[in-house]
Amino acid sequence: MDIATIVGLVVGLATIGVVLIMDGGSPAELFAHPSAIILIIGGSLSATVITTPLKVALTLPKYMIQAFTTKNFNAKETISLLTKLADRARREGLLALEEDSKKIKDKFLQKGIMMVVDGVDSEQVEAILETSIEQMRARHKYGAGFFAAAGAFAPTFGIIGTVMGLISVLKQLDNPSALGESIAAAFLATLWGLLMANLIYLPISGKLKANSEEEARNRYMQLEGILAIQAGENPRIVGEKLNAFLAPGDVKSDEAANAKGAKAPAGRAEKAQA
Amino acid sequence: MDIATIVGLVVGLATIGVVLIMDGGSPAELFAHPSAIILIIGGSLSATVITTPLKVALTLPKYMIQAFTTKNFNAKETISLLTKLADRARREGLLALEEDSKKIKDKFLQKGIMMVVDGVDSEQVEAILETSIEQMRARHKYGAGFFAAAGAFAPTFGIIGTVMGLISVLKQLDNPSALGESIAAAFLATLWGLLMANLIYLPISGKLKANSEEEARNRYMQLEGILAIQAGENPRIVGEKLNAFLAPGDVKSDEAANAKGAKAPAGRAEKAQA
Amino acid sequence: MDIATIVGLVVGLATIGVVLIMDGGSPAELFAHPSAIILIIGGSLSATVITTPLKVALTLPKYMIQAFTTKNFNAKETISLLTKLADRARREGLLALEEDSKKIKDKFLQKGIMMVVDGVDSEQVEAILETSIEQMRARHKYGAGFFAAAGAFAPTFGIIGTVMGLISVLKQLDNPSALGESIAAAFLATLWGLLMANLIYLPISGKLKANSEEEARNRYMQLEGILAIQAGENPRIVGEKLNAFLAPGDVKSDEAANAKGAKAPAGRAEKAQA
Amino acid sequence: MDIATIVGLVVGLATIGVVLIMDGGSPAELFAHPSAIILIIGGSLSATVITTPLKVALTLPKYMIQAFTTKNFNAKETISLLTKLADRARREGLLALEEDSKKIKDKFLQKGIMMVVDGVDSEQVEAILETSIEQMRARHKYGAGFFAAAGAFAPTFGIIGTVMGLISVLKQLDNPSALGESIAAAFLATLWGLLMANLIYLPISGKLKANSEEEARNRYMQLEGILAIQAGENPRIVGEKLNAFLAPGDVKSDEAANAKGAKAPAGRAEKAQA
Amino acid sequence: MDIATIVGLVVGLATIGVVLIMDGGSPAELFAHPSAIILIIGGSLSATVITTPLKVALTLPKYMIQAFTTKNFNAKETISLLTKLADRARREGLLALEEDSKKIKDKFLQKGIMMVVDGVDSEQVEAILETSIEQMRARHKYGAGFFAAAGAFAPTFGIIGTVMGLISVLKQLDNPSALGESIAAAFLATLWGLLMANLIYLPISGKLKANSEEEARNRYMQLEGILAIQAGENPRIVGEKLNAFLAPGDVKSDEAANAKGAKAPAGRAEKAQA
């Protein structure tokens, strides 16, 4: 479960409710005119569906679930795994990784290591895995783009609803007693358009985009590691390369390990010359 | 037929109609003042026509049809075809593809394979096909750009219409009984501007853009395959390369095939060394 | 004459006029308060002139004329010319092109072929011609940018005018009979700002940009052809390369020619091996 | 302490206060309706938290502190240090830098020099340090992006609050005496939304972005220096390379040094030939 | 003096004044409520100062002066100088440029030629000068960005001022006689926000950006020339390369020179083969 999404949503809705009550109203008023809700949701989704390939529109629920779940990328664990594999590859050769590769749970990493074991050419490995990351990114873009488009359409349909409401109000100016109530109802559409866009559509789009960037970053780190292993690079350099993806603060435990290595300067110098 | 475009359009228009009826009006009111419709459509299209090369403006109907039809790119079929060709090319040489190339229905793919058979230099093949994809993209951009521009102009012409209406209202303040009706008529232009932009122009522009990206992606996949065949690459690697364009879920059947191949490790190792 | 620009402008202005008459007014009302027109044109142009290098501001009329005229790039004719030159260069050597180059009307193409005849190094030819295209693009950007800036400033000056008008209205609330008229006059500035931006400035900016892209695309096609000729490439490949710049539908006549070539497979195979 | 942030904030808030008093009100009025403040802060932050990975949301206070503190990059000092190291490396070899590297306080610079001393391959050093800079940039983007998103959401929640307020006002039109007061309260939400966005969120986002660019620029300068040292380049060239990162005015003292060098033309010529 | 900036500013301000008088008011009304002016200038500048590194904020006056002055880049003169140097370098060797380099007034060009004379490696010269241009561009961006940010903040502070004004108006609805005057005063803030942004901040930002692009373009032309001289290229090719930076119309005099050269085809052919 992605806690940030849920906390944000709950707090956001609670804020709206509290403010309505503080101002002497009640959250129920938001639902007084269902036509506003129908217009906003119906209008924004149908406009977005036109914009979108059918295939994407059909996988919409999948994208919503993705925004509420977290993929956990434990970068440090991945780095320690790749460094270990680099070490073994150097000592026992690339074929020795066959056993290890079967135990890797991450499909992407496993596929990469298996290609290395199979002796696939380094440039091909890079091309295949990079295509795979970039195409993943392109697919993710559809999901984030769907909600971004819906978030752009929703406030406009809110204004459409309010203008439609005002037009019918203006035709009935002879009944001034109901005037205020009718104008209020007209503005409800604007309110729903803004709320749907700013509490649902746009934040979900932002979350999907952030998740996609996080995953791509992690994949590129794995790709870097796989290529370094294939090139037979020094495990310490592999570690350095991968740690460069982390914030300085996150590498401390690793630096402790380096410090330990520093006690054996001879060994280090030998490795570094490789 | 592109179902998403049609479903979106029908649902969107139905939503507007339903909301108008729920609020005690009728869809007929939208057409009460034809001057609003004339202004929005006339204004937005004429401004866009100025923006656009004449050639593009004349092919406008073609672009509208494109937004309502789908080109079906069956990526899996293309991959299996290219893998088969790669296999034959490896066994019988590139010239053996001449027969196959005549049966290919996709003009782009056919042209590529024929150049390979004719012995055109690999870099030339890449340059010619890439130019062809990028120029296609540039042409598609005109169509999407036309509707995007129309979608940007339409709401502004809506505001122009409303301001023009309000100006004439303000000059006749001495007749307060007709005031509401006149202001309502003025706002109709804003409504039409927003509806044309958000239900017609912008979604169609988005669809044309999405279709273009889909086609370009498919073309680049074909290009990758053609070059791999020309380079005499291992059919399994060709398959891997092309499958990297698919979502992991779509490759399953293919992985089953790989699993089968895994039973013959000797053969695989031999291929992978190539 | 660029017909699209003129048709768009005439239809756009006619639409405004017709709508004004349909709503019971007359186009003359637009010119009732010249101060609105002075503010919009004076304000938007002076703000844009500050934004722009003096040299560009002085060539403004030239840019306006450019938006109303079309350069005709006949791509097919260029392709057939370049293919013919490629053929002659292959048979008689590059120096044989000297005569032909003198007859070429297009200055850019002529300069390129002359450098090839003079034996200028291929990389230099590419660098010089590419610089030339990119600098042309940069110059064109100034013109399109001028009108885009004016189009961004105009509506804001419209609002400035309306706010100024409303402020003076609000100070004379004691004369309610003239109130409507005064507010109407204030809104006229908004109307002029929107009309100038959406019927004049922005469409002209769009047209200049589209013309520039069209010219750059054509120049890059010529550059490709010149370099292919210098490299002594097979005329058929040169044709393929240049046709890749066209839409598939535009190449038909050329494909007929290819079909003719297909009757002489021996010759073709020989050429393709080059 | 980053003085610009603090000065800007204090002057900005003081301006608001002074203007309120000049117009016959008092700053206390801004806090008359706490529901407006709750809505803006609660709404904008919760929408932004949905948009953001949880990890980033939790480090929010860290980012706020960063906007109020300055990292001091003394570029000239760094240049003089790197030139000195280049000089020593040329005379005594790369291993002679081991002692110096231990004294360097900047962790990034130290890591780079240590890799050079350890004999890590030049391309690896570049790859590792560049990854490190780009990943730092990506992390910084999260912080700036958080406040940019909050700054985009805040005014919209202001409008949401005002619309909610107007809706309840319109329902109580029968009590005209309190009308003005209620509408004023409704507009307070818009005011808070605009103030939070324009005095807090957006400027802080801008500052974080500017700080990040400044740091990246400095890191790339250090990287350039490290690679030049490793390549054994002439200290004078190293100096030239790094001074190119400075504004011409900032290099004066250095040019004085060059002038001194100019008195020994023989030595300079010898160096420049290297 | 940059005449465009001054003409634009004077005409723009005069337009505002004339329009105010035509509408029966007077320019003095703009200054009737100093609180509006204080809010706009104080608010927009303090928000921008938070956004900006302190160093940039302090050099603000320098940037304002830059927008009002023109650097004169005489491209044709530079080209004729560089062609002359290329000629001498070819005949007498690179060292012969030492004398000439001392007479060059342009610091950037001088530095480049001096490095060439000193025998600095070609790639180093390119790297140093390119860094120098790009860093100049980055510094210029700060100045343009400062005014762009101020131009974005100013209208919002205008709305803030108007909302603040309206809130206090709404609290005093019991005094209807002063109502119009107070609302007018509230709108003055919007007017000032729009005027400051559209006549001062944004145009100055645009001018600084245009100046920077002009300078960068000129620098890249000089860089191209310096590298061509160092590579010992034919002066005629150097001329062609640099003329490609000019508009075709500006090269006429040069083409006349070429025509003269054409009378000596033998010599030209010999040069072109180099």
Q: Residue D180 is nearest to which of E39, E161, E171, comparing CB atoms?
A: E171
Read off the pLDDT of each residue in C4-16 and give the average, rounded to a whole number: 90
Q: State residue C272's pLDDT score.
A: 36
Q: How confident is the model at residue B267 (pLDDT cuts 50, 70, 90)?
A: very low
**Cα A124 from Cα A115, distance rounded (Å):** 9
- Looking at chain D, which residue has its C-alpha nearest residue A268? D118
CA distance A250 to chain B (A): 31
Is the pLDDT assigned to residue A253 strictly greater than 60?
A: no
Q: State residue C225's pLDDT score.
A: 95
Greater model confidence, C267 or D15: D15
Is the pLDDT assigned to residue C160 strictly greater than 90?
A: yes
- Looking at chain E, which residue has its C-alpha nearest residue D10? E46
Read off the pLDDT of each residue in E17-23 and give the average, rounded to a whole number: 89
Q: Do D23 and E168 touch (CB under 8 A)?
A: yes
**Cβ pair A143, A56 in contact under 8 A:** yes
Report chain E's mean pLDDT, rounded to a whole number.
85
Q: State residue B6's pLDDT score.
A: 87
- E10–D contact, CB cutoff 8 A: no
Q: Residue B241 is nearest to which of A127, A159, A167, comparing CB atoms?
A: A127
Read off the pLDDT of each residue in C205-213 and give the average, rounded to a whole number: 90
Q: State residue B255's pLDDT score.
A: 46
Select from C261, D197, E179 the least CA-distant residue to C270: C261
Q: State residue B1's pLDDT score.
A: 56
Q: What is the per-residue pLDDT across A112-171, written as a single tens digit (0 to 9) for each? A: 999 999 999 999 999 999 999 999 998 888 889 999 999 999 999 999 999 999 888 888
Is the pLDDT assigned to residue C251 strictly greater than 80?
A: no
And the tokens for D64?
């706020």
Q: Residue C180 is nearest to which of B115, B131, B171, comparing CB atoms?
A: B171
A-chain residues near D114 (CB < 8 A): none
Q: State residue D260's pLDDT score.
A: 41
Read off the pLDDT of each residue in E37-62 and give the average, rounded to a whole number: 86
Q: What is the ipTM of this complex?
A: 0.80
Q: Do A49 and B206 touch (CB under 8 A)?
A: no
**Cα E226 from Cα A195, distance rounded (Å):** 60
Is the pLDDT assigned to residue E272 strictly greater than 60?
A: no
Q: How confident is the model at residue B263 (pLDDT cuts 50, 70, 90)?
A: very low
**How much of chain B, in percent, has pLDDT values that exceed 90?**
55
Q: State residue A147's pLDDT score.
A: 93
In the stretch 202-241 of chain E, residues with CB closer than 8 A to chain D read none
And the tokens for C65?
């004329």
Q: State residue A259's pLDDT score.
A: 42
Q: Do D167 and A180 touch (CB under 8 A)?
A: no
Is the pLDDT assigned to residue E6 strictly greater than 90?
A: no
Is the pLDDT assigned to residue B201 strictly greater than 60?
A: yes
Q: Do D38 and A25 touch (CB under 8 A)?
A: no
* Residue ranges for chain D with pLDDT beneath 50: 253-274
CB proximity list for E109: less than 8 A, separation 6 or greater: E78, E81, E222, E226
Q: Do C4 and B57 touch (CB under 8 A)?
A: yes
Q: State residue E254's pLDDT score.
A: 45
D-chain residues near A194 (CB < 8 A): 156, 159-160, 163
- Looking at chain D, which residue has its C-alpha nearest residue E158? D194
And the tokens for D93?
């070899």
Q: State residue E262's pLDDT score.
A: 38
Q: What is the DSSP string of C192-227?
A: HHHHIIIIIIHHHHHHHHHHHHHHHHHHHHHHHHHH
- D22–E contact, CB cutoff 8 A: yes
Chains E and A touch (3+ CB pairs under 8 A): no
**Cα B264 from Cα B268, distance rounded (Å):** 6
In the stretch 236-255 of chain A, residues with CB closer than 8 A to chain B read none
Q: What is the per-residue pLDDT across E165-198, written as a single tens digit (0 to 9) for each? A: 988 888 777 776 777 888 888 899 999 999 999 9
| C193 CB burial (10 A radius; 0-12, 13-18, 19+) | buried
**How much of chain E, in percent, has pLDDT values that exceed 90?**
55
**Neighbouring C-beta atoms of residue C8, cutoff 10 Å:** 24
In the stretch 95-154 of chain C, residues with CB closer than 8 A to chain B read none
- pTM equals 0.84
Q: State residue A199's pLDDT score.
A: 92
Report chain C's mean pLDDT, rounded to a whole number.
85
Helices (H), E23-172: 34-51, 54-58, 60-68, 75-92, 97-103, 107-117, 122-170
And the tokens for A167?
């037009």
Among the ranges given (A102-111, A193-202, E7-16, E69-78), the one the predictor scored with the smallest mean pLDDT? E69-78
Q: What is the per-residue pLDDT across E207-237, written as a single tens digit (0 to 9) for each? A: 999 889 989 999 999 999 999 999 999 999 9
CA distance E203 to chain C (A): 4
Residue C175 falls in which region: left (phi positive, over 0), alpha (psi -120 to 50) or beta: beta
Q: State residue C252's pLDDT score.
A: 52
Q: Do C42 and E12 touch (CB under 8 A)?
A: yes
**Cα A152 from Cα A42, distance rounded (Å):** 14
Read off the pLDDT of each residue in B54-82 and give the average, rounded to a whole number: 82
Q: How confident is the model at residue E265 (pLDDT cuts 50, 70, 90)?
A: very low
Q: State residue B271's pLDDT score.
A: 36
**Cβ pair D154, D197 in contact under 8 A:** yes
A-chain residues near D48 (CB < 8 A): 8, 203
Q: State residue B59's pLDDT score.
A: 79
Sign, CA dihedral C228-C233-C237-C239, equals positive
Q: State residue B58's pLDDT score.
A: 81
Q: What is the DSSP string of B129-198?
A: HHHHHHHHHHHHHHHHHHHHHHHHHHHHHHHHHHHHHHHHHHTTTT-GGGHHHHHHHHHHHHHHHHHIII
Q: What is the per-residue pLDDT across E55-94, written as a single tens digit (0 to 9) for each? A: 777 877 887 787 777 777 888 999 999 999 999 999 999 9
C-chain residues near B48 (CB < 8 A): 8, 203
Q: Coil, strand or helix: which one is C118?
A: coil
Q: Residue D131 is nearest to which of A15, A18, A241, comparing CB atoms?
A: A241
Read off the pLDDT of each residue in B198-207 and give the average, rounded to a whole number: 92
Q: State residue A139's pLDDT score.
A: 86
- Looking at chain E, which residue has its C-alpha nearest residue C136? E247
- D182–A contact, CB cutoff 8 A: no
Is the pLDDT assigned to residue C258 strictly greater than 50?
A: no
Chains that touch E (3 or more CB pairs under 8 A): C, D
Q: State residue D251's pLDDT score.
A: 66
Q: How confident is the model at residue A264 (pLDDT cuts 50, 70, 90)?
A: very low
3-state secondary structure A179-245: HHHHHHHHHHHHHHHHHHHHHHHHHHHHHHHHHHHHHHHHHHHHHHHHHHHHCCCCHHHHHHHHHCC
Q: State residue E227's pLDDT score.
A: 96
